[in-house]
Amino acid sequence: MALQAGALPDVDFNSRPSLAFYFSVALIAGSVIALQIGIMRVFSVGSWAHFGSLVVSLAMFGFGLTSAVMCVGKPWFERHWRGAVKTALLLFGPVMVASNLIAQQVPFNAIFLVSDPAQKWRLFANFVLYFLPFLCGALYLGVVFLKAQKTFNRVYFADLAGSGACGLLFLLAMYVFKPDDLIVAPLMLWLAGTVLWFIAVSDRRGIIQAVAAAILALAGHFALPPLLDIPKIAVSDYKGVAYARKFPDAKRVYERATPFGYMEIYDSSYLHFAPGQSDNAGFNLPEMPSKAYRGMYIDSEGPSGIIRTLPASQTEYFRYLMMYYPYVVKKAPETFVVQFGGGLSTAMALRAGATSVTVAEGNPMVLNAFRTDAELKKFTGDILGDKRIEVIDYDGRLYAARTRRKFDVIDLALADSAGLSQPGGFAIVEKFSYTREAMRNYMRALKPGGVLAVTLWNKEEPPKSVLKLYSTMVAAARDVEGQDVANRFFVAASYLSTATVLFKKDGFTPAEVETLRKHTAAMSFDEIYSPGFKADVSMLDATLQGYRDQFFYEGPPPDPTGPGPEEKEPHDAPPPGAPADEKKDGASNGEPSKPKVPATDIGRLWWHYLINGGIEQVADRYVFDTTVLTNHQPYFAAYIKVKDLLRFTDRLELVQDEWGYLLLWATLAIAGIAALTLVLFPVVFGWRTIFSRYPGKFGAVVYFLCLGLGYIVVEVGLISHFMLALSNATVSASVLITGMLVFSGLGSFLSERFLDRARSFMPKVFVAIGALLIGYGFLLDPVLDMIGTLPYVVRILACLAIIFPPAFLMGFPMPTGMTTLGRLGKDHMFLWAWGINGSFSVLGAALVPIVATSFGLPAVLLVGGIAYLVAIPAFFRVLLPLPGKPAAA
């Protein structure tokens, strides 16, 4: 590769760089962010989104590493800047394609991470591979910043605005490219940015080389996989869709790539659904529906069942599903279905004789499929076209909050897929539809005597989600109906299947309770609670202890003749039928023991203490956290109590569904170590030499640390907050990233004007940011709830308007600090500051979900606000001039 600078004219980016230069910075920065989102998409579809976040977070340390190396080797980079940039740029595109393609050939399987040592190396290979392209991008940006440090504001503006705009562009690209080919989007941005760079530095040969590299990369991406018979994207064998694809008669009948996800629908005689179906169905039903379902997969995850329009002879089948419960007591109701999903609840409501069905769905992709696809309409009997149906095209919880209509039945059933998902199917996702606030709104939207029915998967043992649901619904009921709610509830469950909670406004009558109990018995379901139900409280201690022992057994070993310390040994409770005396052979022939159903027992006890008081003490003793879901902490996941975290590190296999949460802690720990290492790197190599003459260096570190941490904490925290209004993680992330970065870019651009007055002006900016963020923390929720009911485009605009004030102001501190360093001649500090900022951004991003799950979403904004306030005193240290030089401002 040609690295010579010789014949080319020198360029001074500190005076008046060309427009091409700024656009180059914007597009390469945009390419980096597009690559970031792209990799996360690849992980979502191919394996597991949480590992995508982990990989990307760590890859972003490419920026920290580059800064540290450049800080130490600054003279070299100043001499060879042209070659360094050219190399980085020409490599960036091909490397991103090559890394992605190679990484897809060494996929790792999360479920074997603990049991198979090889998986760790595969994960490591993924880290390294995805790290490489970011290193290239970081090197380019680092050198450019170094070359233009005196006009950092403008370059930074280009950087931020470019990232922001390209984030939005990438969102649109998801309509065009399937996940397999998403990498093309950052590649195109890279090509444009690279060509513009070579125009800016008048390097014609570079342009040709860039185009050649792009052709090479594109050819590699499109031609190599078919040639070598390798996949472009490795979808894990254990993803839901991988099974569907292997069914002999599987046929994909629908496919669409959108920013809301990659949706596929498969048809196969092998797809069977009957969520929460009674075991008695097979004995009592004259005719079981056959080929009744198609499987819907979003990002390879699923399936969610889409039910065919059933002939009248088969509709009796619905009675055998647990979600049928509300229709046992409500005839000819007006029903509100909170989430359409695959349409099962809606079909059931229609078949159960509802006079009207109002159905909400927040995912436009799903509605679009059911409304427009001719084949799907035929299969479902055009369910959304039924004249009794009214469709609400935003989240049901928002509709419930705003509507004046009242309903006889409100149904929120199994909004998620079949629940046979990967470990981590239990990701840290905001479940705003299940919060105390949402439940209150559903309850208030009921007519007198109306019934709210919530059905949830009950496949956990020990149970976590259902206990949280129980507590949340009782808390909400007390908010709405007063303390005595004993006769408001009826609860049934099927062991390791589903659970349904019925809430009736004004309470169930004894006759209704009797009807429900009969239905429960006829279906072989377990009654968990009904008015007057007596739980056997004598079981409490043993049940709680049994659950604790599963994880933290500390008694003597079951068999002292067991193996030596190094041998592998399981330690399980004996199975049913095992003889008490192991010396005796033959099956036990004593009394048949009562079936062991601990989840059912704890459910009953839970309701006893919820209704009669004392649940707090029981919850304290329960092995997992069962905090009520609120809009501030809308999580079913994160059920491990923080104080128990370390005790689980050697028994991860027992809490697979919590790995998403544990990975967050792991990411935080790794990010913390990496950030500190990168910060210390220049310290070790140059604290005495390079930095010795710099006054206020410690203050500068704190300053840029606060900015890095504060900015990202606010950005990521607001993404979660704005899900309240935007209902979709990808859209919320894109709107936030775009809005924040573009507005901050604007702030950065304007900050130049205040550079001379920075000493007096900046403290005001910091105070304003702090006040805004802390205020937002407390006031944002109701505003976002209201915005959520507006048309989608208006929602996005309203969200952008909310972001503007803090984001604009948050654009000031970073470039002001950096330009000040540049103008004061603190060149090494300039590079280092950029790295500190980047490293602590990664740390901050990892911190957000931890703070959110532990203390709630408002606490996240609080942390951000405080970080900006702490930056005030540190800012004055940044202003300290080099000895013998005039002060900056």
Q: Which of residues 255-274 bind other proteins (CB under 8 A)?
A: 269-270, 272-274
Q: What share of the chain is helix, strand, coil (3-state, %, to 5)?
A: 60, 10, 30
C-alpha of 849 from chain center: 9
Comparing CB distances to other proteins, the nearer of 483 and 561 is 561
**Residue 546 is a binding residue for other proteins (CB under 8 A):** yes
Comparing CB distances to other proteins, the nearer of 648 and 685 is 648
489's torsion region: left (phi>0), alpha (psi -120 to 50) or beta?
Answer: beta
Long-range contacts made by residues 224-232, C-beta under 8 angstroms, separation at least 24?
A: 224/101, 225/101, 230/101, 230/104, 230/105, 231/104, 231/105, 232/101, 232/104, 232/180, 232/181
Q: Which stretch binds other proteins (CB under 8 A): 543-551, 689-697, 792-800, 838-846?
A: 543-551
**Residue 225 is a binding residue for other proteins (CB under 8 A):** no
Please check whether residue 322 is in contact with residue 494, taking contact to mean a CB–CB distance below 8 angstroms: yes
- Pick out residues in 458-487 that bind other proteins (CB under 8 A): 459, 461-462
Which run of H or of E encompasses 41? helix 19-46
- Pick out residues in 390-429 that bind other proteins (CB under 8 A): 418-423, 425
Comparing CB distances to other proteins, the nearer of 72 and 523 is 523
Comparing CB distances to other proteins, the nearer of 465 and 738 is 465
**Residue 561 is a binding residue for other proteins (CB under 8 A):** yes
We find the least distance from the C-beta atom of residue 493 to other proteins, in angstroms, to be 11
Residues in the interface with other proteins (CB under 8 A) total 90
We find the least distance from the C-beta atom of residue 230 to other proteins, in angstroms, to be 9
Comparing CB distances to other proteins, the nearer of 61 and 547 is 547
We find the least distance from the C-beta atom of residue 159 to other proteins, in angstroms, to be 42
Q: Site map for other proteins, 184-223, x if CB under 8 A?
A: ----------------------------------------
We find the least distance from the C-beta atom of residue 321 to other proteins, in angstroms, to be 9
**Residue 380 is a binding residue for other proteins (CB under 8 A):** no
- Pick out residues in 789-818 that bind other proteins (CB under 8 A): none
CA distance 274 to 751: 60
Please check whether residue 467 is in contact with residue 491, taking contact to mean a CB–CB distance below 8 angstroms: no
Q: Which stretch binds other proteins (CB under 8 A): 11-19, 469-477, 553-561, 813-821?
A: 553-561
Comparing CB distances to other proteins, the nearer of 160 and 493 is 493
DSSP one-letter string for 653-687 = GGGGGGHHHHHHHHHHHHHHHHHHHHHHHHHHHHT
- Pick out residues in 568-607 that bind other proteins (CB under 8 A): 568-579, 582, 585-587, 595-599
**Residue 114 is a binding residue for other proteins (CB under 8 A):** yes
We find the least distance from the C-beta atom of residue 229 to other proteins, in angstroms, to be 5
Distance spanning both ends of the chain, measured CA to CA: 45
C-alpha of 842 from chain center: 16
We find the least distance from the C-beta atom of residue 517 to other proteins, in angstroms, to be 16
Q: Collapsing DSSP states into helix, strand and coil, what is residue 421?
A: coil
Q: Site map for other proteins, 650-689, x if CB under 8 A?
A: xxxxx-xx--------------------------------
Please check whether residue 503 is in contact with residue 489, taking contact to mean a CB–CB distance below 8 angstroms: yes
Contacts of 534 (CB under 8 A, 6+ apart): 608
Q: Which stretch binds other proteins (CB under 8 A): 431-439, 551-559, 727-735, 740-748?
A: 551-559
We find the least distance from the C-beta atom of residue 412 to other proteins, in angstroms, to be 18
Tell me the CB-side half-sphere exposure of residue 640, using CA atoms within 13 A. 27
**Residue 105 is a binding residue for other proteins (CB under 8 A):** no
The side-by-side arrangement of strands in the sheet containing 334-337 is 389-392, 356-360, 334-337, 407-413, 446-457, 498-504, 489-493, 526-529
Comparing CB distances to other proteins, the nearer of 304 and 441 is 304
Which residues are paired to 410 by β-bridges? 336, 452
Tokens 């595969």 locate to 122
Burial classification of residue 156, based on how many CB atoms lie within 10 Å of its CB (0-12 exposed, 13-18 middle, 19 or more buried): buried
Tokens 């919590």 locate to 658
Which residues are paired to 321 by β-bridges? 277
We find the least distance from the C-beta atom of residue 109 to other proteins, in angstroms, to be 7
Comparing CB distances to other proteins, the nearer of 253 and 652 is 652
Give the gyration radius of the chain's Cα atoms.
30
- Pick out residues in 515-534 that bind other proteins (CB under 8 A): 524
DSSP one-letter string for 447-492 = EEEEEEEEEEE---SS--HHHHHHHHHHHHHHHHH-S--TTTEEEE
We find the least distance from the C-beta atom of residue 571 to other proteins, in angstroms, to be 5
CA distance 149 to 144: 8
Q: Site map for other proteins, 443-462, x if CB under 8 A?
A: ----------------x-xx
- The correct pick among 370, 495, 812, 834 for binding other proteins (CB under 8 A) is 495
Comparing CB distances to other proteins, the nearer of 587 and 887 is 587
Tokens 């309409």 locate to 377
- The correct pick among 9, 311, 560, 590 for binding other proteins (CB under 8 A) is 560
We find the least distance from the C-beta atom of residue 333 to other proteins, in angstroms, to be 26
**Residue 291 is a binding residue for other proteins (CB under 8 A):** no
We find the least distance from the C-beta atom of residue 597 to other proteins, in angstroms, to be 7
CA distance 474 to 868: 40
Comparing CB distances to other proteins, the nearer of 521 and 676 is 521
